Structure 1
């Protein structure tokens, strides 16, 4: 799955899934360090502008976090982890990172004709993507 990445010294990015809920809760409560977010962002093909939309933070705020090496608050940390979880699940389901990346970009009839990555700005949208990935995984395509 690629090079391992430890999130805040405890979570391996490449193996991150929702099985260890208490570790995820602890990470959210502590907040994700900007450097850790940068490592995640380097592995997931979203621009800073897209992350800005997903997290409802301005690009200027991101620049300030980077300069000050700040931690994200629990709300934003949770969203970063949710996006990471759904991304890792998608790569697992599709088998190849490139195939999942293409799926995220393509308009999807099952999702109302929108591009799947447009749903990453809300918890409800992320849940919808998780459900759709489960259907694809089990061969239910409609």
Structure 2
């Protein structure tokens, strides 16, 4: 192994750190969106983008988006984020934005729902059935029942990750 000008060679392979950094910078993380039809509410690609959206707040109408994507009633999604139906109706009419905590929960749910759709090869009905079935690997509860906490949403995401990689989930 020899080293010259920041290039390391090993067994005929040349490693150039500048190329490696450039390659890493061109790789993109997925672009996440919350949209209804043609209307895009928000779009984010990095954690920094997500934080900016959380701080700004999401409109209450994004609850309907999550409701449609998860095939859950709006009331159930509102229970997950701890908002009363009357508060939701009033704030939606007044176009008030959700709190940071509620916006974060909605964004994370949107990510998990889109990721689940990808893991299940866009077979939405199968994914929605999976959300409603008890799952041994997450403590014999349904994945959707964990949407009421940020940690629970992460547990569902981890479970989907294991499924994607062929592990029992």
| TM-score, normalization by structure 2 | 0.71
Separation in structure 2 between the aligned mates of residue 7 and residue 98 of structure 1, nearest angstrom: 24
Higher RCO, 1 vs 2 (CA within 8 Å, ≥6 residues apart) = 1
Larger relative strand fraction = 2
Distance change in 2, residues 1:89/1:69 (3 Å): same
Q: Which has the higher helix share?
A: 1
CA deviation profile, 1:31-58 (whole Å, cap 9, x unmatched): 1012344344333312112112110111
RMSD: 1.9
- TM-score, normalised to structure 1, is 0.84
Unaligned runs of 5+ in 1: none
CA distance in 1, matches of 2:73, 2:160: 23
Which of 115, 120, 135 is 2:142 aligned to? Answer: 115
Q: Report what 1:55 is aligned to.
A: 81
Q: Does residue 32 of structure 2 align to residue 28 of structure 1?
A: no
- Decide whether the 8 Å contact of 2:78 with 2:84 is kept in 1: yes
Pick the structure with greater CA Rg.
2
Aligned residue-pair number? 133
